[in-house]
Structure 1
Amino acid sequence: MPSLEVISLAVADVDRAIAFYRDRAGFHLDVDYHPTPSFRVVQLTPAGSACSIHLVASETPAPVRNLYLVTDDIAAERAQLLARGVAVGECRHKHPLATWSGDWAAGLDPERRDYATFADFTDPDGNRWTLQERGFRQP
C-alpha cells in the first residue's frame, strides 16, 4: 500500500517559510538544495512525522487549508508553539461529542478524548494548520 510522504506548499518567500517552519513551528529541515539560482528543493518534516512538506516558490501562492498535525498533548504543543512566536488560536473541542454535528465549546475536551480537541495556526503565506489531540495520557 502506498503512503503519503510529501505535501507541496506554495510560498512567496522560501527563506521566510524555512525560518517559520524550522525556527518557529519546530519542523526539521531535511533538505535545502539549490545548485542553480532557478532550482531549489526544500523539504521539512514535523518531529515524529512520516510526512514532510516541500516548499515551492510561487509569486501567487494559493493557501492550503486543513493540514493536520496530530499530537498526544495539545496543551503542551500549543504552549511550545506560542513560546516560539507562532500565533496559535485557543483550543476548542467538539460539543457535544456523542452527537457532534459541527458545534464547538471553548477549551480542551474535559475527558481529553481522541480526535476531540483542536487549535489552529497559519504560516506567513496563509497555509492553515490544525493541531489535533490523540493519545493523551495523564502523567
Structure 2
Amino acid sequence: MNWTLEVVVVPVSDVDRAKDFYAERLGFAVDHDTVISDDVRIVQLTPPGSGCSIVIGKGAVPMMPPGSLKGLQLVVPDLGKARAELLERGVEVSEIQVLGENPRPVPDPLDNVGFVFFADPDGNAWAVQQISSRA
C-alpha cells in the first residue's frame, strides 16, 4: 500500500496576498479557489512537477498562527537556476549554502547538500534543496 502526502496546510493571515505570492512569485499552479461562505475559503496550489499541494485559506480547518510553519522543503535539479528564477520573480532568497557533506560521490558538488531559503509574506519558512539524481 502506498501512503502519499498530498496536501500541506500553510497558515496565512491574508489569503489574497498569499495566493499572489505562491502563484505569481513562486509559480505554483492554482488548482482551485473555492469560497464556501463569507467565513470559509480554500485555495489549493501545487508547485510545478509536485505530487503534493499546499492549501491556504480561512475558516475550514483550525489553523496554526500565520507564519508558524517552518521547514517546508522543495527539491530542484539545479539550485542556481532555481535561485535565479526566484530572484527574477522578486522573492527574497538566501545565497546558496552547502550544508554537510555528500553521502556519495556526485558530479555536482551541490547535489544533496546545496540549499537556499526563503519565507512567504507571513514568515512561513521554506528550503529549496538540489537533488539532480537519486541513489
Whether contact under 8 Å (1:12, 1:59) holds in the other structure is: no
The residue number in structure 1 matching 2:46 is: 45
Distance 1:78 1:18 in 2: 20
Q: Which of residues 111, 117, 121 in structure 2 aligns to 1:120? A: 117
Number of residue equivalences: 126
- Structure 1 residues 98 and 26: alpha-carbon distance in aligned structure 2, compared to 1, 3 A threshold: closer
Q: Which structure 1 residue ranges, 5 or more long, are not aligned?
A: 100-108
Task: Please give the root-mean-square deviation of Cα atoms over the aligned residues, in Å.
Answer: 2.2
Instruction: Using the TM superposition, give the Cα deviation of residue 116 of structure 1 relative to its aligned residue in structure 2, in angstroms.
Output: 1.0
Partner of 1:102: none
Residue in 2 that maps onto 1:29: 30
Shift of residue 111 of structure 1? 3.2
TM-score, length basis structure 1: 0.82
In structure 1, how many angstroms separate the alpha carbons of the residues matched to 2:64 and 2:115? Answer: 31
Provide closer, same or farther for how the CA distance between residues 127 and 59 of structure 1 changes in structure 2, counting only shifts above 3 A.
closer
Asked if 1 retains the 8 angstrom alpha-carbon contact of 2:66 and 2:124, the reply is no
Shift of 1:35: 3.4
Give the drift of 1:56. Answer: 3.0
Extract structure 1 runs of 4+ deviating beyond 4 A. none
TM-score, structure 2 as length reference: 0.85
Q: Secondary structure at the match of 2:11?
A: strand
